[in-house]
């Protein structure tokens, strides 16, 4: 089943959700700000995306600037920060079986449908 890691307050995430709705395919919405992700879940998403943790990180978020900016952090530290502060996770993320993509630009979502 297709999954979208979604933040309803984010315009790009809403646009990504619309693409999935228009596709007519079944999908699951995971509001990751409400349903906290575990360390292992974030790590699994990163593995599917085939990117390092810093590429999934929203560095313009206030929480990043206040708590982490300028610090030297391991990949594990970055993942732990995303688990603690899920707003730091880039969105939307769409997973279709063993493929995943960050929906920025949102049109990229169509590549894995």
Question: For this structure, is 10 an active site residue?
Answer: yes
Find the DSSP H helices in 8-58.
11-23, 39-49
Neighbours of 48 (CB within 10 A): 16
Identify which of 35, 55, 38 has the alpha carbon closest to the alpha carbon of residue 100: 55
The catalytic residue among 10, 29, 108, 112 is: 10
Residues, the chain, total? Answer: 113
Residues with a known catalytic role: 10
């Amino acid at each position: 089943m297709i999954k979208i890691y979604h933040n309803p307050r984010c315009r790009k995430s809403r646009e990504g959700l619309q693409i999935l709705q228009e596709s007519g395919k079944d999908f699951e919405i995971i509001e990751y700000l409400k349903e906290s992700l575990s360390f292992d879940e974030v790590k699994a998403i990163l593995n599917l995306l085939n990117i390092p943790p810093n590429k999934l990180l929203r560095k313009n978020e206030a929480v990043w600037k206040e708590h982490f900016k300028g610090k030297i952090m391991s990949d594990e530290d970055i993942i732990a920060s995303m688990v603690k502060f899920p707003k730091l996770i880039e969105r939307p993320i769409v997973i279709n079986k063993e493929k995943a993509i960050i929906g920025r630009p949102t049109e990229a979502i169509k590549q894995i449908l």
